Structure 1
Amino acid sequence: MTNPSYPRHVAIIMDGNGRWAKKRAMPRALGHRQGGEAVRRTVQAAEDLGLECLTLYAFSSENWKREEDEISDLMNLMRRFIEANLEDMVERKVRLKIIGDYKAFAPDIVERLEDALERTKDGERTLAVALNYGAQQEIARAAQLAAQEGEVTPEAIDRHLYTADLPPLDLLIRTSGEVRLSNFLLWQSAYAEMLFMDVLWPDFGEDHLRDACEEFAKRERRYGGR
């Protein structure tokens, strides 16, 4: 049963795959693969904890600057993840949502993503995945669309964000011990609680997510008030 004091919408900056691999003298690609296993665990944990929406920062608009081999590994991991998990998502009634310009990916990936979006559209809970995403670009895009309609207001920008149909962001987690947002959900994080956890993403699991939700439940949210 859902704990009413837990967040409805949790977002995670999944950081630390490369460092996890480096600590073990392994290729970065193996770190990303283990990170994929952490995604599976965390999606299941979100369901078990009754979270309404989980948003994961999978590939930023700045990640194109990485080495070609690493980008290729990430693209192949994306293909395998869709193939391995789509049927399970359909069965468990998880709706996939993509935030970002995913159509910049290879045609076969775009086709797989759009098939997954269609097949999971009636899901009862949401897994939102940020792909080719940057928050500054998202805000600029939303402001341009709002301006085309008339006055640019916070409410108008809200309506044109990728996350417009998601619950407000309650909790943002970053793994690996780094303390920055890295151009992720900047607008949505205005009044979100934040938690920076000293665990590398491939080691993240249900206990970490539960601990984060318990920490959230202890906090008093004032939204700028006293």
Structure 2
Amino acid sequence: MAGMPQAKLNLIDGCPRHVAIIMDGNGRWATQRGRPRLYGHHAGAKRVREIVESCPRIGVDYLTIFAFSTENWKRTQVEVAGLMSLFRRYIVKETRALITSGVRVRFIGDRLRLDDKLISMMNDLEAVTAQNTRVHLTIALNYGGRDEVARATKRLAEDVAAGRLLPENVDEETLPRYLDTHVLPDPDLVIRTSGEARISNFLLWQSAYSEYEFVDTLWPDFTGEEFETLCAAYGGRERRYGGVRG
């Protein structure tokens, strides 16, 4: 990422400000090549760098990626352990580049089930990139949309019980303040790779009015060029938020 261009940005007209990606297909990509699934996950981690590098060039300010879901614990112990090791390696390997490239990193999801070392590394990465503003990279780790809403509702209920919030003041603007993403804008565009056409419990509240793109490309083959093409296509969509044209 140290090589991210610093010259005048080549903004795409109507480019989405916030793009969220369900990075699917790592395992199938590896299987097609006769390799273990973790081989695909490592290839997918490398692809993240190219997509992050594309963001400032085209005008994407926020990028949120789905790295590990609350349902992914159902996978084999070998795969889960390998993924946790990969997350630690990613932080160690990419920290310097993220800092120098102006990327701010945030993590969303329930950290309680993660090991202490990984949590500490996540906290440190958030801290050392906190002043960066060029790209806001959010990594969803042990994240599930329903789990997030449940945790947010619990915190909201605690505030009501403590008298800090009146029940009659709770509306659809209240809950988002308790979500993991409370400091982020809602995603304009959600992309899912690998040919699957489902949202898999990702940003359920936040993506209520997002545009979606489901592409056949497996994540390790998803290039910056394809990412930019999808962002450019977004600019041709008319978002009416339940209204009518004009």
TM-score, normalised with respect to structure 2: 0.89
User: For each residue in 1:138-188, what CA deviation from the matched residue of structure 2 results, as whole angstroms up to 9, or x when unmatched?
Assistant: 112222323322333210111111111112210000000100000000111
Once residues 143 and 72 of structure 1 are traced to their aligned partners in structure 2, the CA distance between those partners, rounded to angstroms, is 31
For the pair 1:73 / 2:89, whether they are aligned, the reply is no
Ranges in structure 2 where 5+ consecutive residues have no aligned partner: 1-8, 160-164
Q: Is the 8 A contact 1:45 1:205 kept in 2?
A: no
Q: Is the 8 A contact 2:73 2:80 kept in 1?
A: yes
For the pair 1:113 / 2:122, whether they are aligned, the reply is yes
Corresponding residue number in structure 2 for 1:183: 201
For the pair 1:220 / 2:230, whether they are aligned, the reply is no
For the pair 1:160 / 2:160, whether they are aligned, the reply is no
The DSSP-based 3-state class of the residue aligned with 2:65 is strand
For the pair 1:150 / 2:166, whether they are aligned, the reply is yes
Show the 5 A alignment for 1:1-226. Answer: 1=9, 2-124=11-133, 125-147=135-157, 148=159, 149-151=165-167, 152-226=170-244
Q: Rg larger in 1 or in 2? A: 2
Corresponding residue number in structure 1 for 2:162: none
Alignment size in residue pairs: 226
Q: 1:150 is matched by which residue type in structure 2? A: L
CA drift of 1:106 comes to: 1.2
User: For each residue in 1:78-137, what CA deviation from the matched residue of structure 2 results, as whole angstroms up to 9, or x when unmatched?
Assistant: 111101110111111111011101242111111111110110111102100001101011
Corresponding residue number in structure 1 for 2:4: none
Structure 1 range deviating more: 40-49 or 10-19: 40-49
User: For each residue in 1:31-57, what CA deviation from the matched residue of structure 2 results, as whole angstroms up to 9, or x when unmatched?
Assistant: 011001111111111232221100000
Once residues 222 and 93 of structure 1 are traced to their aligned partners in structure 2, the CA distance between those partners, rounded to angstroms, is 33
Once residues 41 and 102 of structure 1 are traced to their aligned partners in structure 2, the CA distance between those partners, rounded to angstroms, is 27
Q: Which runs of 4+ in 1 moved over 2 A?
A: 1-4, 143-152
TM-score, normalised with respect to structure 1: 0.96
The DSSP-based 3-state class of the residue aligned with 1:154 is coil
